[in-house]
Amino acid sequence: MVRKITPDDKQVYIEMSREFYSTDAVFEPVPDLYFERTFEEMMRSDVYAEAFMLEFRGEVAGYGLIAKTFSQEAGGLQVWIEELYIRPKFRSKGLGTEFFKEVERLVPAARYRLEIEPENEGAVRLYRRLGFSDLPYGQMIKKGEKINEYN
C-alpha cells in the first residue's frame, strides 16, 4: 500500500531517511536537520515536496519523496523522484512499481525525472521497465549560500 505521509509518520520517516543516507545510493550523508526541514516543509504544504509511505502487510516498508518544478523543456509540471527507499526485507515485492503508479495517479505531470546510481542495477531495471530512459546529457551541481529561513 502507498499512502501520503502524515504528521504521525515523522519518527519513522526520519529513521528511514537515515537508513537511506547510509547506503551506496547517495554520495554523502546529510545531517538530521535536513530530514527535519524536509518533513516540516511537507507538513506545511505540498507545493514543493511530498512524501509517500510504503506499507506491506501493515508494516512500514519504505518511503518515496518527490519534488515539483515547472519545466519549459517539458512543457509543464516536472516531478522529481528525489528518493525511493524500500527497506531490504521488503524489496522485490512490487512496492516500487506501486509507488510510481500512485505518484502518476496523484500528481499528473508533463515529465517525471530521477537520478540513478548506475551500480544499483535492480533500481535501473525497475525504472526502465516503468518507461524511464537515459538522458543524453549529464548534470552539474553548485552548492549555494544558505539564504533562506533555515539559516
Over the stretch 110-140, which tens digit does the pLDDT of each residue have? Answer: 999 999 888 888 889 999 999 999 988 888 8
pLDDT at site 27:
80
pLDDT bin (cut points 50, 70, 90) of residue 11 is very high
* CATH number, domain containing residue 115: 3.40.630.30
> In the chain, how many domains are there?
1
How much is the mean pLDDT over the chain? 93
**Predicted local confidence at residue 117, as pLDDT:** 84
Helix pair 95-106, 121-129: axis angle to 10 deg:
50
In a domain, 136, yes or no: no
In a domain, 94, yes or no: yes
In a domain, 86, yes or no: yes
Q: Which residues of 3-20 are buried (b: 16+ CB within 10 A; e: fewer)?
A: eebeeebbeebeebbeeb
User: Considering the entire predicted model, what is its pTM?
Assistant: 0.90
Which domain does 76 fall in, by range? Answer: 2-129
47 found inside a domain: yes
Most confident listed range (50-59, 114-123, 138-147) = 50-59
